[in-house]
Copies of this chain bind each other. A is one copy, B any other.
Amino acid sequence: MRRQEVSIADIARSAGVSHTTVSRALRESPLISPNTRGRIQRIAREMGYTPNALAQSLQTQRTSTIGLVVTTIADPFFSDVVKGVEGIAREAGFSVFFGASHNEPEQEMVLIDTFHRRRVDGILIASSRVTNYEQRLDHIRVPTVLINSQAQSQHKLLYRVAVDDYLGAQMAVEHLLQLGHRAIGYLGIQSRPYSNQQRLSGYQTALRAAGVEWRDDWIMIAPKEEASSGEDVNAGRELLPSLLDAGVTAVFCYNDMVAIGGLMACREQHIALPETLSIVGFDDVNAANFVTPQLTTIRQPKVQLGQLAMNVMLDLLDGRPGQDHILSPQLIVRNSTTPFTHN
C-alpha cells in the first residue's frame, strides 16, 4: 500500500503559483505577501498537506528523534523510566524510537545500529550490557546516555544517569540491623552483574560496619536465565527456601520482583511474614504496595531517572556540556520488616 501524498507541486498547481512560492509561503517567508501566504497555507491545509519530517531532516541534519533501549518493557521498573523519558522528549518536540534488548548485548548493538541508520540525534540505553562501546561509538558518533548501566564502558560521547546501588543496599541492611536482625541474607541476580555487585558490596559493608560476619550460605545469586518478565520472581521463589534453611531471619533482595517471589515461596510454605522472616526489596515498583505484607523497599526515583537522562541528552544536543548524575535512593518502610524476636 503506497500513500498518495499531497506534494508542494500539487499545492502549486491548485493555487496557480510556482513551487518556490508555495515552499516560501509554507516557511512563512517575508518574500511572499501576507495575503498570498494566508491563501496558500489555507489551500495546503484543505488539501491535507503535512510537511515531510524526513525531507526536513536531510536538510537540517537533525531528526528530532531519539532511540530508547530497555531490557524488557515487561519489567515494571522500566515502564516508569520510559514514562519519564517520553514526557520530556515530547515537551521538547522529540519522537522516541523504542526497542527491547532482552538483556542481550548482541540485541542491544542491533538496536543501536538500527537507530543509527535512522539517524536518531541521540540514544538512551537502560541497563546496558554492552562492554565495548568505545569501539562502536567511534564509528557511530551519537551522544549516548546510559541509565543504570550494567557495564563499565568509558567514552567521551557516553554519559551516565544512575541510582546509587551501593548506598541503597547499605540503607536496606542498616534498617534490618536497627530492627535487631543479625543473620541477614542477600538474594541476588547474575543477569544484571554491575548493580548486583554494587548491592552485594553495600550489603557486606553494612554488615561489616556492624561487626556481623556473614556466612557463605546467607548469600544466594540466581544464575542468568533466558530473559523473561518472570525471571526475577522465579529466582526469588526458588532460592528463598535455601536462605531460610541457612537460618537467616531477614533477607535483602536484589529488587522488588525477587522479593515478591520470596513472598510467594513463603505463602506456599505457610511461613508467617514478617514474624518469621523480614524481607526488603529494591526499586519500589507499584506491586510493592499490592502484595501482602506490603513490601519495605529502597525506592529508586524511576520517572526522574528517565527525565534526567533525556534532559542530559537535550543538553548534549544543544551543545551544552554533558554531565553524569548519581541519584540517591530512599528507604520506604512498610509491613514486610519487623523487629527480630527470639522465639
Interface string of A284-299 (1 = CB under 8 A from B): 0011011110000000
Residues of B within 8 A of A68 (CB): 98
Residues of B within 8 A of A5 (CB): 61, 141
> 28 A–B contact pairs at CB < 8 A?
A1-B316, A1-B317, A1-B319, A3-B141, A5-B61, A5-B141, A48-B141, A50-B116, A52-B58, A53-B117, A54-B63, A68-B98, A73-B73, A73-B83, A74-B76, A74-B79, A74-B286, A76-B79, A82-B98, A83-B100, A95-B118, A96-B97, A96-B99, A97-B98, A98-B98, A233-B290, A263-B290, A290-B291
Interface string of A62-77 (1 = CB under 8 A from B): 0101001000111010
Q: How far is the CA of A99 from the CA of B118 in the complex (A)?
A: 18
In-complex Cβ contact of A142 among B3, B100, B138, B229 (8 A): B3
Q: How far is the CA of A76 from the CA of B287 in the complex (A)?
A: 10
Q: What total of chain A residues lie within 8 Å of the partner, measured CB to CB?
A: 63
User: Taking A79-B79, A263-B290 as contacts, is the C-beta distance between A58 and B55 under 8 angstroms?
Assistant: yes
User: Taking A1-B143, A95-B99, A97-B97 as contacts, is the C-beta distance between A53 and B90 under 8 angstroms?
Assistant: no
Let me know if A264 is at the binding interface, CB within 8 A.
yes
Residues of B within 8 A of A142 (CB): 3
Interface string of A126-162 (1 = CB under 8 A from B): 0000000000001111110000000000000000000
Residues of B within 8 A of A97 (CB): 65, 95-98
Tell me how far the C-beta of A256 lies from the nearest C-beta in chain B, rounded to whole angstroms: 10
Let me know if A119 is at the binding interface, CB within 8 A.
yes
Q: Which chain A residues in 73-115 approach chain B with CB under 8 Å?
A: 73-74, 76, 79-80, 82-83, 86, 90, 95-100, 113-115
Nearest 10 pairs between A and B by C-beta? A48-B139, A98-B98, A292-B292, A53-B117, A73-B79, A53-B118, A287-B287, A260-B290, A73-B82, A74-B79
Residues of B within 8 A of A73 (CB): 73, 79, 82-83, 86
- Which residue of B is nearest A286, CB measured? B229
Let me know if A34 is at the binding interface, CB within 8 A.
no
In-complex Cβ contact of A61 among B2, B95, B100, B287 (8 A): B2
Contact A74 B63 (CB under 8 A): no
Let me know if A341 is at the binding interface, CB within 8 A.
no
